[in-house]
Amino acid sequence: MGKSQESNTITYQEILAVKAPLRELKSWHEALHFMRYFLDGKKTRTSGEMQACAEMFEVVYQNLGALLSETEGYLSKLVQSK
């Protein structure tokens, strides 16, 4: 394999490094799907249910932001090294 081909090779570890946050993003996507039940405007909610929804949204929002940043970092590192 020539030098130019080697520099464009992505290692299995690099693929796994990006795949892990994507799995987490998928699990948070499933949590967001469940939140549609709570956000249905046709149903009345107790204050406890609204509080639970707000807390779940905050956790999902923070984790999605962190995972997106982490994944962007991995991808930037891959692009710069290749």
Query: Which pLDDT score, from 0 to 100, does residue 33 have?
Result: 77
Mean pLDDT, consecutive 10-residue segments, the chain of 82 residues? 58 82 80 76 85 85 85 81 68
**CB atoms < 10 A from the CB of 21, how many?**
18
Query: Which pLDDT score, from 0 to 100, does residue 32 have?
Result: 78
Is residue 18 within 8 A of residue 75, CB to CB? The reply is yes
Whether the predicted model's global pTM rises above the 0.75 cut? no
Contacts of 18 (CB under 8 A, 6+ apart): 71, 74, 75, 78
Query: Which pLDDT score, from 0 to 100, does residue 2 have?
Result: 52
Is residue 70 within 8 A of residue 21, CB to CB? The reply is yes
First vs last C-alpha separation in the chain: 15
